[in-house]
Structure 1
Amino acid sequence: MTGRAQGDLSRPQSGSILHVDMDAFFVSVEQLRRPELRGLPVAVGGTGSRGVVASASYEARAYGVHSAMPAGQARRLCPEIVLLPGDHELYSEVSGRIMDILRSFTPLVEPLSVDEAFLDVSGAQRPPVEIGRLIRERVYEHERINCAVGVASVKFLAKLSSKLAKPKPTPSGPSGGAGVFEVPAGEERVFLAPRPVQDIWGVGPVTLAKLNRIGIATIGELAELPLGRLEEVIGKAHSRHLHSLANAVDPRPVVPEMAAKSMSREETFARDIHTYEDLGAVLVTLSDSVASRLRAAGVAGRTVTIKIRFGDFTTITRSHTLASAVDSGVVLAREAKQLLKAVDVAPGVRLIGVGVSELEDSDQRQLSFEDTAAPSWHDVDQAIDRIRGRFGSGAIRPGGAADTGSSGTSWSRPN
């Protein structure tokens, strides 16, 4: 489902800024590892007398509970609320995987916090709204977390749009919500005009009171107010910024953070897996995916890591640092399967992942003996990338259960 601001609907979809915001992120992560909490009013934050709510489920929000609220007040509003302490290490781990998903669409990703980011998709071939829908699908597919996406020509409007894409809180959970909301390019001021002036970043209670005293209640009224008059009311320092935003002027670009320190993929299973053969097949697929992303980013990595989470949620990692950096799915899979052999999987594996760290520019890496062998895996990888570049990522895939030794890897076309 996609929402769209009303206006000239014949205009092309040319907004290139996306704002992606996770729904009740901390609570959603907690409910994934504690499914019995689903459908209940839940909040994450300080649980003591001075605790503060950091995130609240939609069921809790229906009672008026929100972030930054004292935990005691949350209990008074909703006596049956479940208050949980935060697990920021876990949230950062999940956030890192989500940011990796966003970077698979564009390298221009600017995280604002662990649960939201701006993207610049101006160079993409797909329409921005379609990219927004794909992001929502992929984040849910891999992490089982919902997110909202705002689409617009500038950051301010994209962030405002993502709020409008979110569902409404009810005692029985989230209801409705477009998921993706677009403000078409050229319709920015029409969209903003009737909205309350406090929707603008920087309009807090003090500024709002000053604006209300001179009859300014909507963004449209603020946009029409002469800048000089606005400066008389709230001062020069703040006026130009607010006046620009009211007129949909926001020149700030999306500034990506520093290059990723690692890349990884993982998969959670519907039922625990107990055999090396089945887990090895998954490692082949994950390794191929990570390697493709490494090559697309022009980097290679030295340290290969596997992550294993057992049925009781015990999680372990095993790593091996190679003599030279690699970006080959075949090599990654072989190393990952070798690491897996040292783990007893009989208790049952709930999740398995492959990661590569100690990244460096692939053009600067030292060639290994395998790179110089004929035919080299480098040549195979380049051929695979060309095929996928022309026919799509699903055009060719590794034989999942194939041996990943130098002579045993197979590739196949999906049926």
Structure 2
Amino acid sequence: MDDDEEGNDEGEAARGLRKIIHVDMDAFFASVEQRDNPELRGKPVAVGGSSGRGVVAAASYEARKFGVRSAMPSVTARRLCPDLIFCKSRFDVYREVSQQIRAIFRHHTDLVEPLSLDEAYLDVTTDKLGIGSATRIAELIRQEIRAKTKLTASAGVSYNKLLAKLASDQNKPDGLCVIRPGAGADFVAGLPVRRFHGVGPRGAEKMSRLGIETGADLAEKDIAWLRSNFGSFADYLYRAARGIDLRPVRSSRIRKSVGGERTFSEDISSGPALRDTLETIIDIVWGYIERAEASGRTVTLKLKYTDFQIMSRARTLTAPIADKSQFAEVSRGLLDEVLPLPLPIRLMGLTLSKLEGARDAAAPPADDAQLNLL
């Protein structure tokens, strides 16, 4: 938001408008691998396990053209893209690069809220260098990231976090999008509801059945109707459809848990199928844990039966989970405790809690929509 287009700083402050930037690295893990290995450049690359139970942690843009996506089973990814090249994850390298990027952010502002290793919100309403223009700061940050890491980043600039995040995804990869004061509602109106954070494929399908395809369709529904159809997710949807988000950028907000769930297209009940599914969820959730740089002591297994009753089992250790193998061992033990199941299940999830040092992604509450992150 340049000053000659957004108004001067005094005017913005008087109206209580913030200047928010959301920076999102482009295919971060895969881009680091392509940077460090020239033979991978221009080729479809996936970071993750290539075995039958492996999961894609990240995919290059060349791979995404074939439909390969993060959290996808590796066997599915290879079927979509037979020439896909798998690389083992190197989280020590990704963390090192992430620290370089965060140092660039903090050169401009102390109000930095990391969401993971590869994305963050910045509040530059008052920036350290006195530049004043959020758009110019975003441009400088992207230039500095490219110069220091040889990687590209996309950025969204707006007056709240919701809009800044939507904007950062608008012109990917290596793009910049600015949503200026007063333009948020119109911008959101033209978006498919699938673009709203927290609305996954199943949530979008439900909305489509109810005649909701875009932000404009969603904005036509009153809060009572939304609550009757979407429960606790309704308040977020009501505000999002109008481009409203009052959350501040919080540089020290602590996440309480890291986890993920998976809803099945068909109910499952057999021990082998349940164990295979658990392995997939272990891979996915551990990826979230590493990206959030989380360390925790409690592992919780969640199961939802076909009659929608929820059962959970948890185990708390005396010391934080040391590594993925220990997380997997505890998770498998929790599943073994409840087998055989009295009914087939339609959902399985894992969560790590009692965390130390993980930052909160400040995601909106979601019912089944949250599951589609997997």
Aligned pair 1:104/2:107, yes or no?
yes
Give distance in 1, aligned partners of 2:152 and 2:95. Answer: 17
Per-residue CA distance 1:54-100 (angstroms, 9 max, x = gap):
11111111111111111112212221111011011111111111111
* Number of residue pairs matched by the alignment: 242
Per-residue CA distance 1:111-137 (angstroms, 9 max, x = gap):
100000000000023211111110000
Amino acid at match of 2:67: G
Other-structure match for 1:204? 200
Aligned mate of 1:161, from 139, 156, 167: 167
Deviation at 1:253, TM superposition (A): 0.7
Other-structure match for 2:250? 255
Aligned mate of 2:78, from 75, 78, 92: 75
Normalised to the residue count of structure 2, the TM-score between the two structures is 0.61
Deviation at 1:11, TM superposition (A): 4.9
Aligned pair 1:243/2:238, yes or no?
yes
Equivalent residue runs for 1:274-353 within 5 Å:
none
Give distance in 2, aligned partners of 1:144 and 1:218. Answer: 37
Residues 31 and 211 of structure 1: CA distance in aligned 2, closer, same or farther (over 3 Å): closer
Amino acid at match of 1:84: C
SS in 2 for 1:112: strand
Listed as ranges, the gaps of 5+ residues in structure 2 are 13-17, 254-374
Other-structure match for 2:228? 232
Larger Cα-atom Rg: 1
Other-structure match for 1:194? 190
Residues 213 and 31 of structure 1: CA distance in aligned 2, closer, same or farther (over 3 Å): closer
Deviation at 1:207, TM superposition (A): 3.3
* Coordinate RMSD, CA, aligned: 2.2
Other-structure match for 1:116? 119
Amino acid at match of 2:172: K
Give distance in 2, aligned partners of 1:55 and 1:82. Answer: 12
Aligned residues of 1:46 and 1:85 also touching (Cα < 8 A): yes
Per-residue CA distance 1:330-369 (angstroms, 9 max, x = gap):
xxxxxxxxxxxxxxxxxxxxxxxxxxxxxxxxxxxxxxxx
Other-structure match for 1:184? 180
Higher RCO (CA < 8 A, seq sep 6+): 2
SS in 2 for 1:165: coil
Equivalent residue runs for 1:40-55 within 5 Å:
40-55=43-58
Give distance in 1, aligned partners of 2:68 and 2:7. Answer: 40
Residues 29 and 215 of structure 1: CA distance in aligned 2, closer, same or farther (over 3 Å): same
Aligned residues of 1:98 and 1:139 also touching (Cα < 8 A): yes
Give distance in 2, aligned partners of 1:116 and 1:123. Answer: 21
Residues 198 and 188 of structure 1: CA distance in aligned 2, closer, same or farther (over 3 Å): same
Give distance in 2, aligned partners of 1:33 and 1:205. Answer: 34
Give distance in 2, aligned partners of 1:139 and 1:202. Answer: 28
Listed as ranges, the gaps of 5+ residues in structure 1 are 168-176, 259-415
